[in-house]
Structure 1
């Protein structure tokens, strides 16, 4: 009984193996598609990330410290040189104000004394008692005292109000545009305290103005590629906020010194952007610049996907059709690549059929598709 069961199991296993072999024999041998080398133009590019900014941006600083009294314009307004942007109300320093007031009082006393001397000498001169020279000296002293008092009074008014009375208005307290363009930013508000620009302080920026018709691209290029580009190279600028258009630009600056960022050295580049009337570029738009590093026209090429690399030598090779689904290895020499196509310098001809590694099919698969 046990022998019968054992022989039955062996028989079933043998049948299963025969069925499996039968199915395997029905499968068609694996086949590969091929393609021939072709001629095309290969452009090797690099991409620099950055932003578009105005060519020239002017910051407006106050000529006197004080508090913002009024802001007359808004960000985005267009201005001409000399237009009034804001006014500053002077808050005088008490010590300086007291000192200036005291100087006015002292000079007033000096003027009064000079006036007495002048009047007396004039009376004596009219009577012929003193010489002309002595009278003219008294007159000069009186005129000098009068001028000194006027100067002191003007200084007092400047400290108190920010401008001298009778000097054509409050020019120091009026903040005017120093260039024509668009107001990009007004970082202060009414009531803010501002500091004048001087030799020891840059001063508070009240507004920034730029000509938006002249824009540049400013970005970073890796040290591995900066040596391959040069000034006057043509660029294409893609703006993140504007789809389906690229603005032409021309490279005009490559930084002579790089800066280290995240372990790599980056070099700043700048390029003049050619604008179009239909699009308005805002300062600070993020952008990418495509830079052509190398270009070859009508060269023999293959797809990078059909190329393999030797595990030992790391040299490139392809497999060329020599018979019915029979291929032989051909070592090749390659040139520039754009990431999709690669130039073939030697190793294959335009008549060779090259194996496509990632496109394979079997007859069973084809039959199944037809049945579906």
Structure 2
């Protein structure tokens, strides 16, 4: 008889004896052959299944925001409570992003409030002045130059012509002296610069008089008229105030900027990763300096206040399993037999084994039972 069989028989006998405490003492005196027959009968009247224990509540801890791990506060085996800090991430970049988003929000709000208030009086006056100036210039150019202005342009041209002739004579004289070696190269250069300047003034004066006599071109008038229309449109816009579309568009910009601030605040808060449940650290995959990936768990937390014993039961024995039935569970690791209840029977068999998964729930206030321990459940057929 192996150790497990002996252990199961001992449990069955202890359960049976406990149920027969009122029997006469004479009935308890059995011969060796009678005891063996009784044991065989008891074994046929019970079923035993072995399985592993898991926490009823078990959760993986993930970083919601990618980042470098600054510190790890808990290690495997340590007990944690709801809200305890498990891991912290470096937040320098997150803080900078939040500050930038807040600045953008302030600008968007300022622009929205300015538009909502409408155009200021000084802006209207400025637009009015720009329109009047553009319109007057258009009229002046369209009318052409007055006789007095033509006379003034003629006088300017004559002065420019005299200055040019004088500069030409001086240049020729200095050039002759330079060729004879009677003056310096610098004097020749100065005379040449003065000649070029006088020539430019003479050309500009002649051109301006010619344009004044010919009148404005069609292209010039069209350009000036377009400028009038543009300044008039700006003046009308200033007087009418912001459109409904402009207000809604800027309101949308404010909402977008505010949402971005909230996102960065959320990311910054997620730089501190806390435990959502009470329990024990079962696994740890996080170390300071490493990168936290939102797709990879940093830790696993297991609550051991209650545990499941998960066993596989063949189809023929399911009729002895009822949800809520109390059963005995032997845990050799702690040397105890404990009471449990059937809490779940799978509605579908495992296609690989043709067996059904059954979960037995056990209270574990003392935390003696650990995830991964082996337990043997004993089910009576009677």
- TM-score when normalising by structure 1: 0.49
Greater RCO (CA < 8 Å, at least 6 residues apart): 2
More strand by share: 1
More helix by share: 2
